[in-house]
Amino acid sequence: MIDFHCHLDLYPNPYEVIQHCDREGVYVLSVTTTPKAWHGSSKLVKGCEKIRTALGFHPQLAHERHNEIDLFDELLPQTRYVGEIGLEGAKDWKPFMAVQKKVFAHILKSSTISGGRIMSIHSRYAVDEVFNLLIKYPDAGIPVLHWFTGTKTQLRKAISIGCWFSVGISMLSTKKGRAIVNEIPKDRILTETDGPFVKYRSKQLMPWNVKYAVTELANSWKCQLFEAENQIVSNFRKLFVDI
């Protein structure tokens, strides 16, 4: 099982969650929300072979934390993963779009200079703006759009510029989300929970609950659960060959 977008450090009991992941053999991309969170978060998973920490700069925090950009650059050589990064266009954050774009562009530029990174990207209500910057920095790495909520036209554009997608049970629980997932090439999909922020059946999602998403994918692909699982695992392996 692969949870490609999870905020492990934000669970109230991260050590227990990590131990459970280890026991279940869940691969986790542990995304962070600020450069300052990097050290603590990566320390949490020291020695866990299947968990990787991504260096992040959440767009909802860009206006408060933009002075951490130098720290971001300093830490970047330590990881192949960047996230959660991107842009947020909902009304509470739209007023800060200029600084968000500045931070996101800086990250893409730094990633380009460093030879590319695997990137977990937030694009809510700002899909076109995210595309414009990804197109401007084509060598920044592999963009994995997390919880994509754009239109089908935007989806086709995302596919054409080389984006991958991490999809979770929330996305797969809506008709619109399922319609989008049906049009994503099977070899560009990964699974995610976005825990601990997401609830499903009134329970906080844990990384191993990513199996709900795999089950839905199997339904949507009209295949067996193990076939859907194999597809996700082979995608995950291919991602590392591609960068």
Question: Applying CB under 5 A, which residues contact Mn ion?
Answer: 84, 194
CB of 194 to Mn ion, least distance (A): 5
Of the two residues 60 and 231, which places its CB atom closer to Mn ion in the complex? 60
2 or 231: CB nearest Mn ion: 2
Residue 194 or 216 with smaller CB distance to Mn ion: 194
Nearer to Mn ion, 60 or 235 (CB): 60
Residue 52 has phi, psi (to 5 degrees) of -120, 145
Q: How far is CA 188 from CA 90, 142, 145, 160, in A?
A: 27, 11, 10, 12
Nearest distance, CB of residue 87 and Mn ion, angstroms: 13
> Would you tell me the crossing angle of helices 127-136 and 97-113 to the nearest 10 degrees?
30
Count CB neighbours of 45 within 10 A.
21
Cα–Cα distance measured from residue 97 to residue 187, given in angstroms and rounded to the nearest whole number: 32
Phi, psi (degrees; rounded to nearest 5) at 50: -100, 5
Of the two residues 84 and 216, which places its CB atom closer to Mn ion in the complex?
A: 84
- What is the closest distance, in whole angstroms, from the C-beta atom of residue 60 to Mn ion in the complex? 10
Instruction: Round to whole Å and give the CA distance between 76 and 85.
Output: 13
Q: How far is the CB of 190 from Mn ion (least distance, A)?
A: 14
Nearer to Mn ion, 32 or 79 (CB): 32
Return the ∠ at Cα 132 (arms to 70 and 139), rounded to 5°: 60
CA distance 121 to 86: 5
How would DSSP label each residue in 116-131?
-EEEEEE-TT-HHHHH
Smaller CB separation from Mn ion, 3 or 194: 194
Distance of CA 169 to the CA centre of its chain: 14
- Nearest of 130, 221, 208 to residue 178 by alpha carbon: 221
User: At its nearest, how many Å lie between Mn ion and the CB of residue 156?
Assistant: 24
- What are the residues facing 191 on neighbouring strands? 167
In the complex, residue closest to Mn ion by CB: 194
In the chain the first and final C-alpha atoms are separated, in Å, by 21
